Structures are given as C-alpha cells and as structure tokens.
Structure 1
C-alpha cells in the first residue's frame, strides 16, 4: 500500500483519508509546525544522519508545508516527492505573480496593481488613479481573507495603507507588498478544483443573508461563508483548467468571480481544502489517487 505524508490534520486530512485508503493509499499526519524538529545529529559520521521513525516509510508527500522554514527540514527528513512541492506553494501564494502570469496567458483577471512598500503617498495616489472607488486592498501573500479591506475614497485608502506600513515596518515581515484591485460588487464567488489538469468540481461560497445585510462581502468559508456544490458551465471549467496549466500546478483551487456576465480568476490556492465528496465529480478521488501514484513513481 502506498504511504502518503500529509502535514495538515484538519478538514482535508479527515475527508480524504477513507476514500484514498479505498484506493490503496494510506495517509499519515506529519506535524511540521508548533513543535521541535531535529535538524542534525551533531556528530561526525558517514552518510545521512540517524533516521527519525516518524519520517520513515513514506512514498510521497501531499502538499509542501505552509511554513516554508520548517518545510525545508521536514522535506529533508521525508525525502519524498510532493504532489504540490515548494515551488507550487510559492507560486500560488504570490497573488500578484499569479495574476501577472494569467494576464500574460490571456486569462481574465480583475484589474490589479502591486505596490511594494515603502512608498510615499504620491505613489499610492498615482497607483489608484486608474481605478474607480471602492477598491480592494489586500496583502500579497496572506490567506483566508486576512488583512483584505475595501477603501471608498483616497483618504480611507491611505488609512489602510498607514496600517500596512505599521505592519511592514517590522524587519521580520517578509513580503512587504500589497495589491490595489478593482471591487466587483455582488459577484458570485466560486472555488473550482483542478486535479492533474482536469476540472473535478466546484463550490459556490456564500455569506448568510444577515451577514450581507451587515455589509460583509468576503466569502471565505473560514469567515462564516457556506460552500455549496455547484455545476459550473463549460467556460468556467475551461478557465480553471487553463489557470492550472498556465501556473504548472497539478492540484489547484481556482477562485472565480462572476458578475454582470464577466468571469475572472481572482486568486489560486495550492493548498486547497477538500470539501465533501458529494460536491465534486464522481471521478474526483480516482483522479487524485492517480496523481499521487504518479508523483510517488517520480512521473
């Protein structure tokens, strides 16, 4: 039986464990953060350092750890190929890089400008000039909607930027860039899943009516939105597949926004949460198992 290492023990781990076991793939959790990790043995010897039992016997890894520093150590200990490796995670995490690559490939995206701190107010003012308010302001590397805000005029935009400047002032902050992006009102929010180049299902993420009435607009599941399985039209499926192909990522969540007949790719996620199997196509787990097997075989 093929053995797969997974560095998350949250929803995805619990949902995929049984279906993949039925297809000959055993999953075990490898803790990659909030722990102590041995880096070296501390003595002279020939060959690799003493093995850690918890890292032994794996044939492949699922998705590279989210914390890249710890990930390097875990990667060295496991010494296996990943379905989504470090490069895939880094590619998807860079929102501006993703949008630039997709735009170059002729894939529709929201109008977006990257601002690299530190800059003065004149640069921000010039950057936002081509946009109509409100605009979306978001950190370039954050996930789950963290730090994303709207600005309704120049003063409110500069207020958001002041906050980002405070955060970016800390030397340990790696990515000091943020995006100014057009706001698409009343857009329907979809997460399409692509496995090994093929669309395998999607969910629509919606806030409850009371949240919408309160003025909330971010459809992140971690912020209270519900994910409902949907059957996307061909043009949306093709857009998701083209996105995965353009980025060269085999297992990818593609976030689509649709409003006024316009369909765009807003973001991608190389560490997408797997939802209930009923929300995907019947061959979802067959395709996923096949991708894992090919990864383990080095293909």
Structure 2
C-alpha cells in the first residue's frame, strides 16, 4: 500500500509550492474529517504555527500517533524542544562536527535554519542534516552561542510564515529533493509481515553479537517472515520506518543507544533493549539498591562518594581485596581490584574523577561466572564463563589478544543448578520483561547476583551451542509477539 505524505498547516494557502509527492491538508480537516482518520498508511508533516501543549499543532501529532500515522515531529520531539538539558544531551553526538563547522565564525552567536534537513549555506549542510536526524521537524531554527565552545542555546520548530524572506526561494527545491528521495517504504520482492531494525556499530571492538550471530538473527527473522535491516547511529531519523528495534550495540545511558531506544519506544515500536531496562541495568548503583531492597543475595556492597576518601577503609566498611566499579561499567571495563589500602585510595581517586559515585564490593574469587539468559521472564540459556588465564576477570583488556578472554561452555538450562536459575530469574524480573543476561557466582553453596545485563552477549559458538538456531528463533518470536500484542492493545 502506497504511503500518503500529508503536509498539515493551519492555513493551506501558506503552502505555495507545487509538489506532486505531497497532499496539503488543513489542520482542521486532518483533526475532524473522517477521511483522514481512516487512512491506513500515512506520514504527517506537521507545519502548524505552534506546537505548544494542547494547541492545534500538538493535537495533529497526537492524533497522528493514535491513528498509526507517522508524525514529524512527534509529540515526544515537541516535548524535547522545551528542555535545554535534553537538547544538549541529545546534541552531544554531533559536538565535534559543530565545533569544526563553526570554527571560523567570528561572532559570538548566530542562527542556523534547517529546512527539510538542508541548509542554505552549503558549508553548513552536514550540521543541518545531523540536527534534523536528532530533532526531526520539517523546519528548524537553531540558536548557537559561543561560551568557550559552540553550544545550542535554543532549537525550535518554525512555521512556513516564519521562514526568512531571503530563504524562501530555496524551500521548494529542498522539499522536492526531500520527498522525492524519501523511502516509504522499500520495495521488496517478498512482502514481509513486519520490519525489524537491528542497531549495530560496525567498528565496535567487542559487540554483543559477532557477525556470524547477526547473520543467524537475519536468517531466523526471514524464516519467520520478518524483514531485517542493519542500521547505525546515522539512521536515527529512519526509526519510524520499522515496527521494532533490536539493539546489538553496547548500551549506555548518556549515549545514542539510549536515545534510539527512547525514540523508538515513544514512536510505538517494540524495543529490545527498552529504555527503562537500559536505565536500570546500566547503573550499578541502582542495581545494588534494587537487589538489596528485594533481599536477593549479592556481594557486600558499599556506595562511595567524593568525600569517602576522607575516611579509613574500615570506617567505610571496606575489607581487602575489594572490587571498585564505575556505575556504568560494562564488559569488565571500569572495574578494578584493590588488594590493599594504598591501591584502594589510588584507584578510587581515579574513578571518582569520572563519576560522583563508585561501587565497592567484596571480592569473590571463583573459577567461572554463571550467565543465565532470560527472555520474556523465562530462562533461555545457561553458560559458564571462565576467568581469563592468569586474571581475576572474564575479560583481561590488558592481556594479549589471544589470552584476553576466558573459555566458556553452554549447557541446557535444566542442567544448570536450580538455585542459580531461580535467583537469576528473580533478579531479571526486578528489571522488566525484556532480554537480560544475569551474571552470578556460586561459592560454597552460596549463590550471589553480580549484575543484570540489558544487552547480553549472543555469539555464535558460545551462547547458542545448546539451542543452536532455536535461540535466534526465540528472540525473533518474542519480537513478533510484542508487535502483535501492541497492535491488539491499540485496537
């Protein structure tokens, strides 16, 4: 079914450009005419004069979402424009590009206009496209100020009437270029039931899934009638083309992976990893408190702050050896061991330069860690990850590449110790109903939770040894159930 591109304005007479690719509609008609409510496949470009809360422009995007139309901007984007903190956090990914582009600008402040992802000055085109990808609105005005470096002071969507007179001659060409090359949606020989985006970073040294595993996800999806496409951080503006997002890049909160998850969820896509799971799992301060509140066994944990080095280890409840962790550490990075008081203060001082809070935990030596994969609140796989040779962690980032990783083995869930599996399930259920990898240790009959990962590794020849292709099928089937569950709830 062809997608209808609707440009919605308060007054259609303000749109004076002749484009075959679009249909110009008044906001009043879009909100009240049943013809538009019944359209099954539409993209709504909202050019109303105001997006303030409960304005006509606000309701155009709100009803577009309710009708399963793709709105640009979404209500979530409208809310983002109001927060300077959100704006600057989202724009961090393009900071280097901004500084380079405007390095020769002599004044201390200036305004950049972005029209359908393009700019009037060719030198600004890359920044303009990047800003559009981050803050999707057809027409944008961005105020920059220089305070040691260039910062976005304000970014707001504008209406047709607010376009400077000198820029109006460019708008028709920009709009025609935009709509003529936009992919709505791809032509495919096979008509798939659903579209799944898999977010990856081709340059990541230790991604959650190796290339062979990614290929197996694609094969499983194809078999289950789901179209898959690998996307990267550059594809932020394309999320609305898909029904679901599967993140196979290491997730962090202050990172584009979280912004992808958050935007996808806001636009109604099924998301693994969902934004709340990233928030909860990515911070070990939260995890430590959550496990303690639930009474689940964990290593003895102390939360340290900037003032903590003023006290002795004994006063802080620290015994040696101990493990110090950055709250957002992942894949054993940002995790160090202190064997005595001197090492403790030295390593704590270094970590406190990066974070106001640090986790200190008792060191629990073991030959291996258990990893129980949990999907949809059910155990999926069980693995043992052995410590890297001559090292106390699974990953030894300072070792030679051939000795960097410990060995692993995978076994049927029913053959793993029952108390390990049940403890893992309880820990994962504290986070949500997504896809998790729970790390545990079993020492002298005692099972303790080390952490819950929202983005567990799935590598060919490791986690899939027992289930083989069924492991990949299970993940894709979960995506399908979630998509169909959402559709049922919406109707």
Q: Same fold (TM over 0.5)?
A: yes
Distance 2:348 2:396 in 1: 26
State the TM-score, normalized to the length of structure 2: 0.50
Q: 1:153 to 1:100 in 2, by over 3 A?
A: same
Distance 1:161 1:88 in 2: 27
254-263 or 222-231: bigger deviation: 222-231
Distance 1:207 1:69 in 2: 29
Does the 8 Å CA contact 1:107/1:239 hold for their aligned counterparts?
Answer: yes
Distance 2:329 2:427 in 1: 20
Distance 1:62 1:225 in 2: 27
Give the CA deviation at 1:238.
1.1
SS in 1 for 2:421: helix
Give the CA deviation at 1:263.
1.0
What is the correspondence of 1:191-202 to structure 2 with a 5 Å cutoff?
Answer: 191-202=371-382
- Runs of 4+ more than 6 Å apart: none
Distance 1:178 1:15 in 2: 38
2:395 corresponds to which residue?
A: 220
Give the CA deviation at 1:77.
7.4
From 432, 438, 454, the equivalent of 1:254 is 438
SS in 2 for 1:295: helix
1:47 corresponds to which residue?
A: none
1:185 corresponds to which residue?
A: 365
SS in 2 for 1:263: strand
Does the 8 Å CA contact 1:30/1:55 hold for their aligned counterparts?
Answer: no
Distance 1:150 1:232 in 2: 29
Distance 2:261 2:310 in 1: 44
Give the CA deviation at 1:123.
3.9
Does the 8 Å CA contact 2:222/2:228 hold for their aligned counterparts?
Answer: yes
How many residues were matched structurally?
Answer: 268
1:7 pairs with 2:199: yes
**Whose helix fraction is larger, Structure 1's or Structure 2's?**
2
Once the two structures are superposed, residues 174-210 of structure 1 have per-residue CA deviations (whole angstroms, 9 ceiling, x without a partner) of: x4321110011225311110010110112111135xx
Distance 2:315 2:225 in 1: 53
From 258, 270, 274, the equivalent of 2:454 is 270
Give the CA deviation at 1:56.
5.2
What is the correspondence of 1:135-174 to structure 2 with a 5 Å cutoff?
Answer: 135-165=322-352, 167-168=353-354
Give the CA deviation at 1:124.
5.9
Once the two structures are superposed, residues 199-245 of structure 1 have per-residue CA deviations (whole angstroms, 9 ceiling, x without a partner) of: 0112111135xx22xxx110138741222113412211111111111
1:132 corresponds to which residue?
A: 319
2:137 corresponds to which residue?
A: none
What is the correspondence of 1:14-93 to structure 2 with a 5 Å cutoff?
Answer: 14-32=215-233, 35=234, 54-55=238-239, 57-63=241-247, 66=251, 68-70=254-256, 71-72=258-259, 76=263, 79=267, 80-93=269-282
Higher relative contact order (CA 8 A, sep 6+): 1
Distance 2:372 2:477 in 1: 19
Does the 8 Å CA contact 1:187/1:257 hold for their aligned counterparts?
Answer: no
Q: 1:135 to 1:189 in 2, by over 3 A?
A: same
1:287 corresponds to which residue?
A: 474
Q: 1:282 to 1:235 in 2, by over 3 A?
A: farther
Distance 2:243 2:405 in 1: 36
2:307 corresponds to which residue?
A: 119
2:295 corresponds to which residue?
A: 106
Does the 8 Å CA contact 2:262/2:275 hold for their aligned counterparts?
Answer: no
1:45 corresponds to which residue?
A: none
Q: 1:120 to 1:288 in 2, by over 3 A?
A: closer
Does the 8 Å CA contact 1:190/1:204 hold for their aligned counterparts?
Answer: yes
Once the two structures are superposed, residues 126-161 of structure 1 have per-residue CA deviations (whole angstroms, 9 ceiling, x without a partner) of: 5543x4311111111111111211112222100111
Q: RMSD across aligned C-alpha pairs, in angstroms?
A: 2.7
